[in-house]
Amino acid sequence: MGREKQSSVTKFLLLRLPIRPEKQCVFFTLFLAMYLTTVLGNLLIILLIRVDSLLHTPMYFFLSHLAFSDIFLSSITVPQMLMNIQAQQHSISYSGCISQMYFFVLFGCLDNFLLAVMAYDRYVAICHPLHYITVMRKEVCVCLVAGSWLFCCAHALLHNLLLLRLSFCFNNTIPNFFCDLTALLRLSYSDISLNKLVIFTEGGLLFILPLSSILGSYIHIGSTVLRDPSTKKFFKTLSICGSHLFVVSLYYGTLAGVYFFSSFQNASDKDIAASVIYTVVTPLLNPFIYSLRNRDIKQALEIFVTRAKSFK
């Protein structure tokens, strides 16, 4: 055991999803289709927002950054998962694993902040429409996005630095399909009390503050709409808020399940299922919920297709 502890880990082994062998082909095709839809759908959103001047508004500015973040959040983990489905186990270098964890934490955190910023944007638009142009001017929008990037980069760097000081056991098999923070902590024989403290304090703060901002924004939106007797406005707002809140619930529910309610001692299939929802399903839903059901996006898509045909 002493020799095992002194061994330096140069790579980790990632396990495939708990899928029966006869169903591997089906799940591989399903996850591949979901991944391609996520990437192409979000790229289409970014392209339409870029080329259509009518979409150069704060809401779509934030949406383009959310789409960009979702592409990378999915691309960091899903290709690895697809390879793991085909192989019994797949190795990843120590540096590659640490890098994957950094970018996963970064873009997961960025999604968190962008959802809060988008909720605030809707709050100002619905509750204070006369002040919307003043409040959500270009400088403010850029500062909100830049601040989100800055905080998330610092957040991911902090967890990486704390992880680099740990030593790992000779048994280096990660019971997940990617290098997840909690999975790596389970493999360390060093004292992880500081890492756990940071997850539950600093990580919890970055979890609670955006969530509180989202809930506060929609509570104010709900109270404003209920004071307006217009049925059309009520159902329009309900459609927008209901879709957003569904994604928020799915996002924060799986995030809490993976990082706050899972055991640091033992992994379970429930943790892996939550990770799949968090990394595959949520980025896939965003294009449909925020854009493809949106009239402005549909009009921009029609114009884009018409222009593309005219160039032939």
Could you read off the pLDDT tens digit of each residue along the chain, which spans 312 residues?
Answer: 444 443 467 888 887 777 787 888 898 999 999 999 999 989 998 998 998 888 899 989 998 999 999 999 999 999 988 888 877 667 888 889 999 999 999 998 999 899 999 999 989 988 888 899 999 999 999 999 999 999 999 999 999 999 988 888 777 888 778 888 888 888 888 888 898 888 888 877 888 888 899 889 988 888 887 777 666 666 666 666 776 777 777 777 777 666 555 554 555 566 677 778 878 888 888 777 766 567 778 788 888 788 777 765
Q: Residue 130 is which amino acid?
A: L
Residue 71, strand partner residues: none
- DSSP 3-state of 11: strand
What pLDDT sits at residue 269? 64
pTM: 0.86
Nearest Cα residue to 176 out of 166, 186, 161, 167: 186
CA distance 258 to 245: 20
Q: Residue 40 is which amino acid?
A: L
Radius of gyration of the chain (CA): 21
What pLDDT sits at residue 274? 74
CA distances (Å), origin 183, targets 30, 109, 176, 177: 25, 18, 7, 10
CA distance 260 to 252: 11
Query: What would the two tokens of residue 55 be?
Result: 């979409």
Q: Which helix (H) or strand (E) holds 174?
A: strand 173-174
What pLDDT sits at residue 270? 67
Is-contact 4 171, C-beta < 8 A? yes
Nearest Cα residue to 290 out of 233, 238, 253, 247: 247
What pLDDT sits at residue 247? 75
Is-contact 31 85, C-beta < 8 A? yes
CA distance 307 to 145: 31
CA distance 144 to 46: 18
